[in-house]
Amino acid sequence: MYNGLFINSNQSAIIAQNNLQNTSNALGTALSRLSSGLRITGAYVDPAGYQIAQGLNSTNLGINQATRNANNANSLVSIASGGLSTIQGMLGTMQTLATEAANGTESSQDLAALNSEYYQLASEITQIAQSNQFNGLHLLNANGGNPYITVASGAGTISSNTVASAFNFQIGYNANTSTNQIGVTISGAQASQLGMSAGTVYLSGTAGVYTATEFVSLTGINYYSASSTIAGAVVSLNGTGGISTFSGGAAAYSTVDLLSNTDALTALSAVQAANVQVAGMSGQLGSYQNRVTQILGNLQTEGQNTQAAYSQIMDVNFAAEMATFTLQSTLAQSGEAMLAQANLIPQGLLTLLR
């Protein structure tokens, strides 16, 4: 409180001016918040809150991308499932053809016609497996179309090499792959990859004991060479088609066809095994889809909660801020009027000079 009247220093005007400046600053803050929709318009407003909010925003961005990733994963699996569904229907037709060919009432001309249709379907299965893609990624063409059964090193040992197309989907926003990634493997579905294992063939000779295995696909019987008790030995396999010699890898030994009743039974067994194989693959992909669906639901909930937490910190409460704006606007008008009145006080001193 100041006593006395002064011309060089108008304390009342200074006080009014300071109050008006504070009101103007508060009014500017309210305008900034209302125009931007943000409570924290910069880190200087609330440093701790700003830091927490940016962490939440980063998490939310990761969740949004993980959601898109999961949707892409679901699309990929759906395309592969659609291809397998088509193949399953064609296998049903092939089973019908093989069953008809196994009947003793069919003539050689009938068997040839059945065999032709059978092989056309087998070729189409391979075509579907080779062309089934998502974004340029082959889904049903694992292992290049080669059958999966191979012979491991060492005499008397046969192993199954289940090479499959593998996809890892980032369905989380952290780098921990065990909890933020899902792996999907899809086995090949070409005609040469669908069928049954006929078992192991043991051959003995002067050089030692050889082991090999046989895989009956939809279109061919494939033999695989094995190691023997002699390093680098060559395995010779005897069959109705003569003697074939293999020193490694795989080769088609004979074809599977419907040209005789006996051959048709072999084909029928292969088709039935292929049906089971494809059904198992479809079931596996279905389980992947169910898992991805659950992941999408969890990501949606987590994203909503993270966004809500971010909004609580960063976004302005328009009702409360509008009330503040109205108050500060009124105070600004009042402050301007009082500053004008304070500026008139020194003029009252002129009456003392008369």
Residue 342: CB atoms within 10 A of its CB come to 17
Going from N- to C-terminal start, the domains of the chain cover 105-286
CA distance 215 to 192: 9
C-alpha 307/C-alpha 314 separation (Å) is 10
Find all residues with CB under 8 Å of 126, minimum gap 6, and list them. Answer: 145, 190, 191, 192
**Integer Cα distance of 288 and 183 in angstroms:** 9
Q: Which amino acid is at 104?
A: G
pLDDT tens-place values along the chain, 354 residues long: 556 666 677 788 888 889 889 989 888 888 888 888 888 888 888 899 999 999 999 999 999 999 999 999 999 999 999 999 999 999 999 999 999 999 989 899 999 999 999 999 999 999 999 999 999 888 998 766 555 443 333 333 333 444 578 899 999 888 888 888 998 888 888 888 888 876 665 554 444 555 556 678 888 876 554 444 444 444 444 333 223 444 444 444 567 899 999 899 999 999 999 999 999 999 999 999 999 999 999 999 999 999 999 999 999 988 998 998 899 899 888 888 888 888 877 777 777 766
Q: What is the dihedral of CA 117, 122, 123, 127, to 10 degrees?
A: 130
**Per residue in 272-309, pLDDT tens?**
999 999 999 999 999 999 999 999 999 999 999 999 99
From the CB of residue 9, how many other CB atoms can be counted at a distance below 10 Å? 10
105-286 sits in which CATH class? mainly alpha
The per-residue pLDDT of the chain, averaged, comes to 80
Chain segment 79-88, per-residue pLDDT in tens: 999 999 999 9
CA distance 65 to 70: 9
In this prediction the pTM is 0.73
CA-to-CA dists, residue 65 to 52, 136, 285, angstroms: 20, 21, 23
Q: Is 302 exposed, middle or buried (0-12, 13-18, 19+ CB in 10 A)?
A: middle
User: Per residue in 206-240, pLDDT tens?
Assistant: 445 555 566 788 888 765 544 444 444 444 443 33
Interatomic CA distance for residues 97 and 90, integer angstroms:
11
